[in-house]
Amino acid sequence: MEIIFNQLSYVINQKNSKEIKYLDNVNLVINGGNIVGLWGENLEIIGSLLTVIKRPSKGEIKLDDLLIKKSTHINNVNGLRKRIGVFLSKSYFNEKTVKDEIKSVMKNFEYKTRNVTKHIVDSLKLVGMSEDYLNRNINELSFTEKKKVELASILSYNPEVIVLNHFYKGLIFRDREYFKKLFLKLKNRLHKTIIVIESELDYFFGLADKVYIFDKGKLIVSGGKEIFYNDKIYPYAKMPKIVEFTKYVQSTGHKILEYTDIKELIKEIYRNV
Amino acid sequence: MLMGNIRIKNLKFSYDNKHEIFTNVDFYLRKGKTLSIIGPASSGKTTLLRLMNGEFDYKGEIIINGVIVNKDNFGALRKCIAVVFRDTSLLADTVQDELKFPLENMNLSLKDINTRINDINEFFSIKKILNKSISSLSLNDQTLVKILSYAIMYPTYLAIDDLLSDLNTRTKILLLNYLNSKHITLINVTTNMEDLLYTDYILCIYKGINAVDGKTLEVLKNEKLLKRLGFDLPFMVDLSFQLEYYGLINKVYLNKEALVKSLWK
């Protein structure tokens, strides 16, 4: 699904002292089958705007040929919501067990399949969980396991677009690598569009086709892999360690190439000393 | 044993008698020595903090100053350790009220309360946000207020569940200095390996036991074990190890200036 933001704004408490601009006149195009990284505060609103839980204050969103504006009527909102999965880092769930939770999400989005249990097991396997979890109480699961269950419940109804709000935060390296591979697989094999919202740039390395940097709702810079070495983003974002190191080496007069992978960096140092 | 040290001995715990979380966890909290707790997903990092917070019954012993904590005296444990959880929510309307709340619970006089708040105000220069509502703050400020609302009670230990990564570097260093100046010992549960370099000791729990336990750099030297458990290393440590492997340097550098100097002599 192609997603276009056209002069999109979302502002609360407009024109009073508590005004917060979530999005401020944003123009962008997310091509279908791409993974994009979004960095900034309050971007969680994008998931709510795409699923028409909230409406734009100004401007419009185009999803294929569907237009979302401040006050247009949308036929079949549920049909739209089925096509977009939003990961929220929930800590509270509707149902008690893992199986019931995923089942209820499937029911909610009218996903029909003959063998429900097998489908749930398959969804769990995708996120790296065994069927032993089926009857576990969700509230007794750890933070990471809850994240995995929520992701499995989204994958279970097979949406075209997946919006991930701070999915990577709090995962250890191995899990981050596992999910990076999973998301790349979903993109390459199933042509999913994935929007990754994070507050650390490191998580976009090797994952995002394009990265967008926001400040106070305004889109400041966007670009491909080369963006991590763009000085324009560092008044806002925290500089990843590898960028900081490479830039320092360059500042001492040694011309080394710019990488975001430590193995490549080490080879580059080896060639240069 | 020094005053204020805590021994956690042969800790055994499970939520439902079926899935055992800890089989034998054994470690010291040393007053004045900050500690990072790491572990793979669902290894029980948060559960360990919940036990330290006195939320569940466990087998094994927690010993403060030689006294075993039990049903009758676990108030001592709560006074000694304050725990900030990830799902702790802020209750008050303004930042000032939020900081006042725990102090009022402690029955401190208004004068003492104001001294402590002014102290924080000067240290972090947060005058601008003091009267703002909490929901209007940025993530960095919200996290800071959340942590400070516990730190302001001046506990001996302050345990934080994976929240430091929400702070920007400047605030993080200010906070560490603040805790240091109030003689509050930090226990930081973390998944962000860069944060390990801020603490003196590391405890790694894995499969119900403490897998590795010791001084930060000593623990990080177990590179193979840590990678097998699924961790990465802090960038400078990782880089140093690999450059050492290629014979380009011969020790671990935590400082990029020194490393570059040693590489390009």
Contact partners, residue B69, CB within 8 Å, separation at least 6 = B54, B61, B62, B63, B76, B77
**Sign of torsion over alpha carbons A190, A196, A200, A201:** positive
Please report, for the domain that includes residue A194, its CATH number: 3.40.50.300
**A9 in a domain, yes or no?**
yes
Of A10-19, A169-178, A219-228, B26-35, the range with the lowest mean pLDDT is A10-19
**A32 in a domain, yes or no?**
yes
Using a CB–CB cut-off of 8 Å, the residues of A that contact B are 18, 20, 41, 91, 140-145, 169-175, 199-200, 238, 241-242, 244-245, 248-249, 252, 254, 262, 265-266, 269-270, 273
pLDDT digits (tens, 9 = 90+) for A94-123: 999 999 999 999 999 999 999 999 999 999
**B93 in a domain, yes or no?**
yes
**A53 in a domain, yes or no?**
yes
pLDDT digits (tens, 9 = 90+) for B211-223: 899 999 999 999 9
Residue in B44, B136, B231 closest to A172 by CB? B231
Smallest Cα distance from B181 to chain A, Å: 27
To which residue do tokens 């070495």 refer? Answer: A229
Best of A20, A149, A174, A203 to disrupt the B interface (most B CBs within 10 Å) is: A174
Indicate if ipTM > 0.90: no
Q: Examine the domain organization and report whether A72 and A167 are in the same domain.
A: yes
Q: Examine the domain organization and report whether B208 and B245 are in the same domain.
A: no
Residue in A144, A199, A262 closest to B42 by CB? A144
Of A68-72, B47-51, B70-74, the range with the lowest mean pLDDT is B70-74
pLDDT at site B72: 83
Q: Examine the domain organization and report whether A73 and A63 are in the same domain.
A: yes
Is B211 within 8 Å of B252 (Cβ atoms)? no
- The band of B118, judged by pLDDT with boundaries at 50, 70 and 90, is very high
pLDDT digits (tens, 9 = 90+) for A263-272: 999 999 999 9
Q: Examine the domain organization and report whether B161 and B259 are in the same domain.
A: no
Q: Examine the domain organization and report whether B125 and B165 are in the same domain.
A: yes
- Cα separations in angstroms, B228 against A156, B39, B225, B233: 31, 12, 5, 12
Q: Examine the domain organization and report whether B133 and B119 are in the same domain.
A: yes
Q: Examine the domain organization and report whether A272 and A139 are in the same domain.
A: no
Q: Examine the domain organization and report whether A151 and A167 are in the same domain.
A: no
Q: Which residues of chain A does B41 touch, with a Cβ-Cβ cutoff of 8 Å?
A: 142-145, 171-172, 175
Residue A37: pLDDT over 80: yes
Q: Examine the domain organization and report whether B223 and B254 are in the same domain.
A: no
Q: How many CB atoms lie within 10 A of CB A38?
A: 24
**A203 in a domain, yes or no?**
yes
Distance (Å, whole) CA B164 – CA B70: 31
Chain A residue with minimum CA distance to B169? A238
Contact B239 A262 (CB under 8 A): yes
Q: Examine the domain organization and report whether B160 and B256 are in the same domain.
A: no
**B185 in a domain, yes or no?**
yes
**A259 in a domain, yes or no?**
yes
Distance (Å, whole) CA A173 – CA B230: 6
pLDDT (mean) for B138-166 = 93
pLDDT digits (tens, 9 = 90+) for B81-112: 999 998 888 888 899 999 999 999 999 999 99
What is the domain range of residue A188?
1-83+159-226
Q: Examine the domain organization and report whether B247 and B186 are in the same domain.
A: no
pLDDT (mean) for B167-193 = 94
**B76 in a domain, yes or no?**
yes
Residue B2: pLDDT over 50: no
- The band of A36, judged by pLDDT with boundaries at 50, 70 and 90, is very high
**A26 in a domain, yes or no?**
yes
Q: How many CB atoms lie within 10 A of CB B1?
A: 12
Q: Examine the domain organization and report whether A71 and A174 are in the same domain.
A: yes
pLDDT at site B3: 58
Q: Examine the domain organization and report whether A194 and A128 are in the same domain.
A: no
What is the domain range of residue B156?
6-233
pLDDT digits (tens, 9 = 90+) for A187-208: 999 999 999 999 999 999 999 9
Q: Examine the domain organization and report whether B255 and B171 are in the same domain.
A: no
Residue A23: pLDDT over 70: yes
**B1 in a domain, yes or no?**
no
Q: Tokens for A4?
A: 């276009």
Distance (Å, whole) CA A121 – CA A134: 8
Chain B residue with minimum CA distance to A166? B166
Provide the mean pLDDT of chain B: 91
More confident residue, B2 or B246: B246
Q: Examine the domain organization and report whether A21 and A140 are in the same domain.
A: no
Percent of residues, chain B, with pLDDT higher than 70? 99
**How many domains does the structure of chain A reveal?**
3
One-letter-per-residue 3-state SS of chain A: CCEEEEEEEEEECCCCCCCEEEEEEEEEEECCCCEEEEECCCCCHHHHHHCCCCCCCEEEEEECCEEECCCCCCCCHHHHHHCEEEECCCCCCCCCEHHHHHHHHHHHCCCCCCCHHHHHHHHHHHCCCCHHHCCCEHHHCCHHHHHHHHHHHHHCCCCCEEEEECCCCCCCHHHHHHHHHHHHHHHHHHCCEEEEEECCHHHHCCCCCEEEEEECCEEEEEECHHHHHCHHHCCCCCCCHHHHHHHHHHHCCCCCCCCCCHHHHHHHHHHHC
Best of B163, B191, B206 to disrupt the A interface (most A CBs within 10 Å) is: B191
Of A79-83, B18-22, B199-203, the range with the lowest mean pLDDT is B18-22
Q: Examine the domain organization and report whether A174 and A260 are in the same domain.
A: no
DSSP strand pairing (A218-223 vs B67-68) = unpaired
- The band of B20, judged by pLDDT with boundaries at 50, 70 and 90, is confident
Q: Which residues of chain B does A249 touch, with a Cβ-Cβ cutoff of 8 Å?
A: 260
Distance (Å, whole) CA B85 – CA B46: 8
- The band of B1, judged by pLDDT with boundaries at 50, 70 and 90, is very low
Is A259 within 8 Å of A246 (Cβ atoms)? yes
Q: Examine the domain organization and report whether B226 and B253 are in the same domain.
A: no
Q: Examine the domain organization and report whether A75 and A186 are in the same domain.
A: yes
- Cα separations in angstroms, A185 against A131, A155, A188, B26: 22, 13, 5, 42
Q: Examine the domain organization and report whether B118 and B160 are in the same domain.
A: yes
More confident residue, B32 or B72: B32
Residue B232: pLDDT over 70: yes
Q: Examine the domain organization and report whether A12 and A63 are in the same domain.
A: yes
**How many domains does the structure of chain B reveal?**
2
pLDDT digits (tens, 9 = 90+) for A81-94: 999 999 998 878 99
The domain boundary residue, chosen from A158, A174, A208: A158
Q: Examine the domain organization and report whether B213 and B264 are in the same domain.
A: no
Contact B257 A248 (CB under 8 A): yes
Percent of residues, chain B, with pLDDT higher than 90? 72
Q: Examine the domain organization and report whether B260 and B139 are in the same domain.
A: no
- The band of B237, judged by pLDDT with boundaries at 50, 70 and 90, is very high
Distance (Å, whole) CA A24 – CA A46: 12
Please report, for the domain that includes residue B187, its CATH number: 3.40.50.300
